[in-house]
Chain A
Amino acid sequence: MLTTATASSGSGSRSPVRLAVTRFTQQPWGYLLPAVIILGALAVFPLIQLARMSLSEVGPRTIVGPWEFIGWSNFRKAFGDRIFWQSVRATGTFTLVLLVVDLVVGYLGAAVLSSGTWSTNLALRIMVFVWALPPIVSGSVWRFLLAGNGAINSLLGLVGMESVDWLSSPDRALLSVSLVAAWASLPFSILVIHGGLLSLPTDVIEAARIDGAGFWGLSRHIVLPILRPTLAVLTVLIILYAFRSFDFVYVMTEGGPGTVTTTLPYFAYNTAFKTYQFGVASALAMVSMLVVIVLAVPYMLGLRKEHAG
């Protein structure tokens, strides 16, 4: 616990600044204050502007200058747009692919790469290095690899299979883009889980292994429960990422073919910066925000359980 009665016995200082600092470091809110100040100054205003724009007429001609309040019109326009519903479904698929790959392959990968051998360390380093490449680069690379005459199709040709339209077939484009995004975010997931694995209590694990527990048993009964907070936050972050990022869509297919790979964040970006309909785009962003909050409710409820004494 942070607040104790024996607080100042250790410091023995008398200057007012020192006293203020001591007070700050005693209470939890003292530790929160710098973050509150920074975010309050910088991050809250854009949020307020976003909300305001979603309720106002902000189009090509009215971006700068007074915005006319129009209530729910933008939301109604968004909900009435067939592309909106399509983009929600597309985002759902995108999110699902990301979650499955990043969590399942992520956990297995992190578990395996934690052995500490030279090969696993090298693999980890390679993966993080590739992850650090900006989406503009990695997305472009995959665009070439998945092109009609690209490396992947050439490989297929070697084994006698037909070329596939990875990025331009209406049936495959979304899956391809999702898998590339999952490939790109997997190292992050592995890194986070790996960090969690390093903090596991070795004595408990040793005891369980002496009792004969194997990898799957250990995982189910010991490791995954301990990693719950890490995995929970990772899930939320992945969902956040899926509803927020449009980099790979933008670089690889620009929302196409047609509107097949137009996910919600790409749709919002396009509406704002290609067609200059900021009001509607803000409404789309607010809706995305709402969806993420709703999806994060289990996480928020789970927060209560996390609080250790």
Chain B
Amino acid sequence: MTRHERRVVGAAAAGLLMAAAGVGAASAGGSHVDGEGAETLTVWTYYVTGGQIDALDAQNEMFEQTHPGVKIDHVQIPFDQLAPRLLAGAATGDGPDVVLDNVVVDFPALAASGALLDLTPYWDAYPDAEQFPDSAVWRTDDGIFNVMSYTNLLAMYYNADVLDEYGIAPPTTIEELESAMAIVAEAGDYTPLSMSGVATPEGAWMFMPLLLSQGVGYCNLDEPSVEGAFTTLQGWADNDYIPTETATWDQADAWLAFASGDYAFGFNGNWNLGELAGLDFTAGTVQLPSNGSEGSVVFPGGEAIGIGSFSDNQDLAWEYIQSGWMSQEASLINFNTTGQIPTRADLADAPDLQANELVQPFVAAAGSTANWPASPNTAAMQNAMGQAGSAVISGALSPADAASQVVSDVTSEIADGGGSC
């Protein structure tokens, strides 16, 4: 190194050491008051593009207009880092004012970590509280930590052009679906079904309805029923109704496949409704076909809202959640922009929701949901189910082996987590 280079290195090192001596400013989260007396609320989400961000922006704008002097700062965190970030901050007293988290798998960890504020006092005083179903209010023994203003659900999309071509009516039961898929597979021009079978909770979410239709959920799994559902899946793979790749496809992959126009049916969620206009074929929607006496039942997904424990502006944060998310007006803005279904009961018959025909199956699904397991090991259980399903679809495991494995895994996770489910 020349003398000049060494000086540069020395200067850089000195600069870094000075900064490390504590002169740096830490402002990664939390609200603060800036010069003009305006208050800022920090909101963390993992929203990326499209409808969800547009809805958030519109809701924020509405809130800022009705609450002058308040600014909402939306911070986008990559999906995988949101929960770890909250957990890391919980230990050091750092975090946002409001967060939208992946409640379905992350709730037990987030609630117990102290990263989220107990909302019970706010919720008890909330006049609209009774509008929300129990499944929208996420509790532990220590309080309420998350509430859902909207939910994302699964239903079945179909390529109306393909169905017309073969004279098929949209199926309502699994048997009807299989007959329809047989016709499509026989003709060979289209692949019957696109769905997600990835070895994670995402895949599990998509084929659990096969069991939910029979009244079987995570908390009451029995081997015969599970084996039956897996045999159905295996049949679809063997008959080429679903490509083997399904075993590694997530929701986004499954949608990409359906949107290409090469598929007759697609299991997917309401968040893709906004994409239908851009497709070069006509699509329709119908509830997921029923596989048993309970009819079509799904697990409700989506993000839930919480207040950061270390927020300096908890009351304002709750005000934001109330007016900017849970209110009728906000819920409708969200629905109209994204197709995400409001959880409020008093909106179930709203004209906005009734107007759009394609949304109806999702609205109906919202009225027929199963409860997620209440075990702290819910993530591990869903993961095990996803792995089992993926193994069956790819042929790595037989339905019998997969069923016995997953039932024993889930049972031990339930026991491990304290027994309640």
Binding site for B on A (CB under 8 A): 59-65, 82, 147-148, 165, 167-170, 173, 252-260, 262, 270, 273-277
Contacts and interface: CB of A to CB of B under 8 A. Distances in A.
Say which size band chain B's interface belongs to: 35 or more
A63 B113 contact: yes
B109 A148 contact: no
A170 B396 CA distance: 6
A276 B200 contact: no
B391 A274 contact: no
Given A64-B113, A255-B199, A257-B391, A168 B379 contact: no
Given A60-B379, A148-B245, A256-B247, A276 B391 contact: no
B199 A259 contact: yes
B91 A64 contact: yes
B105 A274 contact: yes
Interface string B389-414: 01111111100000001000000000
The 9 A-B residue pairs whose C-beta atoms are closest, nearest first, are A258-B391, A257-B394, A256-B199, A257-B247, A61-B112, A275-B380, A170-B396, A258-B396, A60-B109
Given A258-B394, A275-B379, A168 B247 contact: yes
Contacts of A148: 243-245
Contact of B199 (A64, A82, A254, A276): A254
Interface string B87-98: 100110000000
B387 A259 contact: yes
Majority secondary structure, B binding face: helix
Contact of B383 (A62, A64, A270): A270
Given A165-B244, A256-B390, A275 B377 contact: yes
B199 A258 contact: yes
Nearest to A81: B409
A259 B391 CA distance: 7
A39 to B, nearest CB: 15
Nearest to B405: A82
Contacts of B417: 59-60
Which interface residue of A65, A170, A254 has the most chain B CB atoms within 10 A?
A: A254
Contacts of A59: 376-377, 417
B245 A147 contact: yes
B383 A65 contact: no
Given A148-B243, A258-B199, A258-B247, A61 B379 contact: no
A252 B390 CA distance: 14
Contacts of A259: 199, 387, 391, 396
A273 B243 CA distance: 29
A303 B377 CA distance: 46
B247 A61 contact: no
B108 interface: yes
Nearest to A82: B405
Contacts of B80: 273
Contacts of B250: 254
Given A60-B379, A260-B394, 10 more contacts: A59-B417, A60-B108, A168-B243, A168-B244, A169-B395, A170-B391, A254-B250, A255-B199, A274-B379, A275-B380
B198 interface: yes
Contacts of A173: 248, 394
Contacts of B379: 60, 274-276
Contact of A274 (B108, B115, B200): B200
B84 interface: yes
